[in-house]
Structure 1
Amino acid sequence: MRLVASDIDGTILSREGRISERTIRALQGCEAAGVAVVFVTGRPARWLTPLSEQLRHTGTVICSNGALVYDLSSMSVVSSQGIPRHTMLEVRDIVRGLFPETTFAAETAEEFVMETGFAEPRHRHLLGEVRHGKLEDLVTGDEVVKFMAKIEDMSAEDYFRAVAPHVGHLVSVTHSALDLTMLEMAPLGVNKAVTLAEYAHALGVSAEDVVAFGDMPNDVEMLTWAGEGYAMSSGHPRALAATELHAPGIEDDGVAQVLERKLAGLRKVG
């Protein structure tokens, strides 16, 4: 074990927004033992405060399902890959042709913008915090790092299966939201595993020396790429099916349990 790569939400961060003390100790124990730690998330860079405030992490975070790499120590973007604006609009038109009731939102390296109908009734307060309106007017730059499509009254898996075959030649498609049906789209060929592999290579770490943790469909590629990819027992069926290695659920500090065992093994070898 030379590199630990962990998803955030549902893997180390509870729905209440907390990282347990046991998990914090285990992750910090890895770094103290000389094992690098990187977080790999669907979150944008501006939503990383649980890492900086609770974990005191100051290293690299792979954000937006692999499209953006962020340095928490300098609070700056290291690199990013985007969906061209014209591709985003083409995807929008295809999805809307399939499901006219779909609403859309987009992440750039700087901000989150959304169609007015994208906000959930319980999240209407967001309309005062983000730019909203027509997608063509909101996205004025050349590209976005993440494009989202949301619909009501359908499961995320059904939505994914209906949409992905029609846009998979233009973007990478996945989903990870627990309480809403939303597709997350990244630049074609980009996912958590691709960017993690590049990061590991830069450190001189091979896949067999990477221990990864995740719980949702957007973690599948990462879990299958890593030498040891652990799906959380509390996770999505597709994540659980992707690997034979299952960590106890987040409610049982599953990441900490695995890392404690791995660290104990390192101490014995040392």
Structure 2
Amino acid sequence: MSDFTPRLIATDLDGTIVRSDGTVSDRTVAALARVERAGATLVMVTGRPPRWMKDIAAEVGHHGVAICANGAVLYDLHTETVLRTHEIEPRVIEQVVRKLREAVPELRFAVEHPDGFFFEASYNLGRWDARRFGGQAVDDATLFSKSGTKLLALHPAADPDSLAAQAIGAVGDLVTVTHSSGRGLLEMSAQGITKASALAEFCNEQGITSAQVAAFGDMPNDLPMLTWAGTSYGVANAHPDVLATVTHTTASNDDDGVAQILEKYYS
């Protein structure tokens, strides 16, 4: 490894530092602590909504900020408060849903808000009960009634890459479309809002340039961030598009790939 030492580490969570069993290893917790002890900044950059951050923040013992909902929310982990949001306007949500219903009738929709989410009664997460995660089944009038940090569209069987390409063709001029779960679940943010846009905004406020950032990820929703950062790593289990884009690769999430790199940076 070169003499480069990042001023800021930006890491995705699920599939990157979170293992397949949903935990974060002791080794990774210790490696993340090294970042801040060295005087660098650690930012978790995730597709998760803020309400899903409490457990992970406690597990890694991190006090600082997280970028949530693929860039739509800046969240203070210490105070558990939303610092700012970039939301999709209600009229845009309605327009996107109607266009996607025409293009892919099998899709079912949900809208994330900072404090919960609305979903169609037919929105089925399989083994996950949407109500257990703060969800509320609503009609269209309510679904379209207020702005949201993320619009979700679920297909029961579609290939996520093909589905995303179809959605971009239909509504890519209205929202930013991506996916991260390995199944037919589209994640849509306000136009131009990505993990990269939020990270760049935060770094600009801190006087940190992209060349001073090392970023880690595994799925297509990480691609803007990985492209923006001066140094980028894909874990071995990453999506092929990620592995083809990053400047470096490391071991898988289950083999503490991020920790291995952080230990070298901050030895």
TM (norm. structure 1) is 0.93
What is the match of residue 21 of structure 1? 26
1:74 aligns with 2:79: yes
What is the match of residue 145 of structure 2? 140
Distance in 1 between residues matched to 2:203 and 2:180, nearest whole Å: 24
Q: Is the 8 A contact 1:116 1:127 kept in 2?
A: no
1:113 aligns with 2:118: yes
Q: Which moved more, 1:232-241 or 1:167-176?
A: 232-241
| SS of equivalent residue, structure 2 residue 173 | coil
What is the match of residue 225 of structure 1? 228
| Cα distance, 1:128–1:220 mapped onto 2, change above 3 Å | closer
Q: Is the 8 A contact 1:12 1:19 kept in 2?
A: yes
Distance in 2 between residues matched to 1:237 and 1:117, nearest whole Å: 32
What is the match of residue 247 of structure 1? 250
1:139 positional shift? 4.4
1:153 maps to amino acid:
A
TM (norm. structure 2) is 0.94
- Which runs of 5 or more residues in structure 2 are unaligned? 1-5
Distance in 2 between residues matched to 1:233 and 1:9, nearest whole Å: 14
1:166 aligns with 2:147: no
Q: Which moved more, 1:235-244 or 1:95-104?
A: 235-244
Distance in 1 between residues matched to 2:185 and 2:126, nearest whole Å: 15
- Which runs of 5 or more residues in structure 1 are unaligned? 265-270
Distance in 1 between residues matched to 2:53 and 2:120, nearest whole Å: 24
| Cα distance, 1:176–1:60 mapped onto 2, change above 3 Å | same
| Among candidates 201, 213, 219, match of residue 216 of structure 1 | 219
Q: Is the 8 A contact 2:195 2:221 kept in 1?
A: yes
Q: Is the 8 A contact 1:38 1:59 kept in 2?
A: yes
RMSD over aligned Cα, in angstroms?
Answer: 1.5
Q: Give the share of equivalent positions with the same residue, in percent.
A: 37
Instruction: Show CA shifts across 1:8-31 (max 9, x none).
Output: 101111232211111111110111
2:25 maps to amino acid:
S
2:124 maps to amino acid:
A
What is the match of residue 183 of structure 1? 186
What is the match of residue 3 of structure 2? none
| Cα distance, 1:127–1:109 mapped onto 2, change above 3 Å | closer
1:244 positional shift? 3.1
What is the match of residue 5 of structure 1? 10
2:140 maps to amino acid:
L
What is the match of residue 257 of structure 1? 260
Count of matched residue positions in the alignment of Structure 1 and Structure 2: 262
